A and B are shown apart, each in its own frame.
Chain A
């Protein structure tokens, strides 16, 4: 005879929505949309809308599977302990079924309604985020965010592929840009929530290598990111609107990152420069991708 676990009432639909990490999805959808709008191809509005919907659903599915796998970690971190699974508002099986079902649905819909190239890259991005980042890297190496960052870099490629049926140098540079932007963005966050990650046993760089090494890494990755961010302009892949925006916005990013890289945490430090870099890094990506679209649509 087995002892049955106490049954939870069915989860509220809002908890399923929370499982998709809607705030993270905003940036994913925006970069995907910009990748599509920057492509030199006419996209039917309905097909374009469907492609963006599929990117959003795929990102939501990956977020749900991430929360399914990391429920134990989320339970010990202040930032995440109120999520539906650690808070006991949903059972893990429901989250798993939801994540797998949504993943399959988003990829199949993309393949049928848009094209196979976009569907293949969407599938790759979901598998990369769930298997490579969440399952393999996150608990094993402080470089988790470096390699795992590729998962969040796929949307511009997917958007471009949805419009053109293939990929080119510009979306590849956009992929590289988001890939190199991810470490300074997350390490700025990790610097001010270090104790949370340490309590959860996640080997984030500040926990494993220390604050000094993390600050140096923020500086190094920002330098590489700056090169890639500005590159489309001199390479002739984007016009002066993107060029001017990338120089100004990246210079400000470099100043904020340089400040974080150069300073040392004091006693009772409110970590304002790190918080400022984290907040600006989100705005930076929105503005830079927006400039790319403006460049494509405003310039002849």
Chain B
């Protein structure tokens, strides 16, 4: 019983870690695309 619990704890922990990292990366991507869009608009104005 104990090893199964350890394994499911490990799986949960890794899933949680990956979800947090993925969330942060997606947030950074949104910001990057926003900044790129603003830069492109600004470059087009010059």
Contacts and interface: CB of A to CB of B under 8 A. Distances in A.
A28 to B, nearest CB: 20
Contacts of B15: 10
Given A9-B11, A10-B11, A44 B39 contact: yes
Nearest to A48: B39
Given A9-B7, A9-B10, A10-B11, A46 B39 contact: yes
A10 B14 contact: yes
B14 A12 contact: yes
A11 B39 contact: no
Nearest to A13: B21
> Which interface class (under 10, 10 to 19, 20 to 34, 35 or more) fits B?
10 to 19
Contacts of B7: 9
A12 B39 contact: no
> Which interface class (under 10, 10 to 19, 20 to 34, 35 or more) fits A?
10 to 19
Nearest to B33: A113
Contacts of B42: 44
Contacts of B38: 46
A46 B35 CA distance: 7
Interface of B: 7, 10-11, 14-15, 17-18, 21, 32-33, 35-36, 38-40, 42-43
Closest 9 CB pairs between A and B? A46-B39, A13-B21, A113-B36, A46-B35, A44-B39, A10-B14, A9-B11, A13-B18, A12-B14
